[in-house]
Amino acid sequence: MELFIEVVPAEGVMHVRVKYLKDEVLTNHFYLNRDAEISYFSCDGQETPHESSNEEHPMFSGYTAQKVLAPNLRDCLELAYSLRLSGETGCCPYVREKIAPEFTFIRWETFCYPMFFEDWDSYRNTAFTACNIQLIVPKEYDVVASKKERDTAIGDSKKVVTYSHQDKGSNVFDCSVASYKKVKFSFGSVCFLSDLGAEKVQMVNDTMLKAISYMNEHFGVRHIEPNLVFAAIPDGYGSFVCPHNNVVFVEEATFSRAENLRAIVHEYIHLGWNPKVADSVQRARFFDEAFTSYFEVRVMAALFGGESFSAESKAEHAIDAIRRGEYKLVPIAEYGLHGYGGLSYTIGALCLHELCLLLGEPVFDNVTKAFLEKYKDVPVDFDLFCREYIGLSGKDNRRKLSRFFDDWIYTCSGISEYINAE
């Protein structure tokens, strides 16, 4: 697969050329952003007319994309199109993606390039196996991408960045294009959208170093490669991590106050302090998000005080939502089954907070350190988690811990006390 994208921020447009080999065209049609204007369509080297219509994508209700028929191929499919993102055609309702001089985001959620899938299974199975991606931007722009950069060539007016990758299972290419101000810190580099000023840069540095040293001390020492890149994106886009290339996209407001660095602290914890999780329990999000959210609260409370950051206040909205019946009352071990992984951020974190109260912080921290070390690369599930904590916490704690896990992991007794307390 070849994908060449030229972004012209000043004109609000991107010009794309893409080529797929026969084996990479998995369905007899593909979806593309509905604003894309196809100027060239060719099968096996022959330009041919194409058929397309705007249709709702089966995975996203209310989201309309251009459905383009791909004829039978002997060899390859090639097309060229121009895309002016109007801000209304991304399938994430919270983002209004545009190509603009100050910032451009290219990602699959906006269907900036052809998508050959109809459901989450085919989404997961669609992988770029070997591909060549090239991004062309004006010389003064920078690109931060989810793929490893192979080469950058700078010409008189343009910069050409080439990416290639073979990591199977990854079918997305995300990148931001902006004129970034890059600052190197000991924990990684941060690409700021605007000039932050020396004082705030110092604040970012001091806060992150304090946070990292707290995590090392309480949850086990981790040496995280300093090749991390935190790239600012405009507010409203939602922070997220691209683990393959150690890129974290964070909203710009994150850097405005020390307390807002919570978002970076959170992503940083994901990189070093999550146990590995068995596939079958991943949907519960407990072992990534409950752990991370709980640690995040601990770190932030240590830095800024427990009045501003606590597991109880973090869980308030979720508890209200359960009271209102927006979620059925189900045990944490069944979150995956009900698609309630989102509750792990709040109720899951609250469970770990209660566990810490029960054991006392020094014991909890020691047990957690040992647990995270042991399960850094070995997949864990709920039974194993409970057994390990019971085994590691010492004889005296055995009975109260098994009771605790019954109440908080396997039944709803623990959380019910919060729900019934007004």
Residues that bind Zn ion (CB under 5 A): 292
Closest CB to Zn ion: residue number:
292
Judged by beta carbon, residue 246 or residue 292, the one nearer Zn ion is 292
Q: To which residue do tokens 């979150």 refer? A: 335
- Tell me the closest approach of the beta carbon of residue 247 to Zn ion, in angstroms: 15
- Sequence length of the chain is 422
List, in order, residues 6 or more apart from 66 with CB less than 8 Å away: 31, 32, 33, 34, 36, 52, 53, 54, 111
- Tell me the closest approach of the beta carbon of residue 372 to Zn ion, in angstroms: 16
Q: Say if CB 136 and CB 4 are below 8 A apart.
A: yes
- Tell me the closest approach of the beta carbon of residue 289 to Zn ion, in angstroms: 5
- Tell me the closest approach of the beta carbon of residue 269 to Zn ion, in angstroms: 8
Question: For residues 82 and 37, what is the distance between their CA atoms, to the nearest angstrom?
Answer: 5
Judged by beta carbon, residue 52 or residue 346, the one nearer Zn ion is 346
Burial of 103 from C-beta contacts in 10 A (0-12 / 13-18 / 19+): buried
Nearest CA-CA partner of 292 in 271, 278, 306: 271
Question: Which residue type does 285 have?
Answer: R
Question: Which residue type does 415 have?
Answer: I
Judged by beta carbon, residue 252 or residue 288, the one nearer Zn ion is 288
- Tell me the closest approach of the beta carbon of residue 219 to Zn ion, in angstroms: 15
Question: For residues 285 and 145, what is the distance between their CA atoms, to the nearest angstrom?
Answer: 26
Other CB atoms within a 10 A radius of the CB of residue 357 amount to 11
State the DSSP code for 345: G
Judged by beta carbon, residue 89 or residue 292, the one nearer Zn ion is 292
Judged by beta carbon, residue 163 or residue 268, the one nearer Zn ion is 268
Judged by beta carbon, residue 32 or residue 349, the one nearer Zn ion is 349
**82 pairs with which residues across the strands?**
15, 37
- Tell me the closest approach of the beta carbon of residue 241 to Zn ion, in angstroms: 8
Other CB atoms within a 10 A radius of the CB of residue 159 amount to 17
Classified as helix, coil or strand, 247 is: strand
Q: Say if CB 267 and CB 188 are below 8 A apart.
A: no
- Tell me the closest approach of the beta carbon of residue 296 to Zn ion, in angstroms: 8
Cα end-to-end span (Å), the chain = 57
Judged by beta carbon, residue 79 or residue 263, the one nearer Zn ion is 263
Residue 18 tokens read as 């893409």
Judged by beta carbon, residue 104 or residue 292, the one nearer Zn ion is 292
Q: What are phi and psi of 253, to 5 degrees?
A: -60, -20
- Tell me the closest approach of the beta carbon of residue 299 to Zn ion, in angstroms: 14
Half-sphere exposure of 103 (CA within 13 A, CB side): 21
Question: For residues 204 and 255, what is the distance between their CA atoms, to the nearest angstrom?
Answer: 7
- Tell me the closest approach of the beta carbon of residue 267 to Zn ion, in angstroms: 7
Judged by beta carbon, residue 163 or residue 219, the one nearer Zn ion is 219
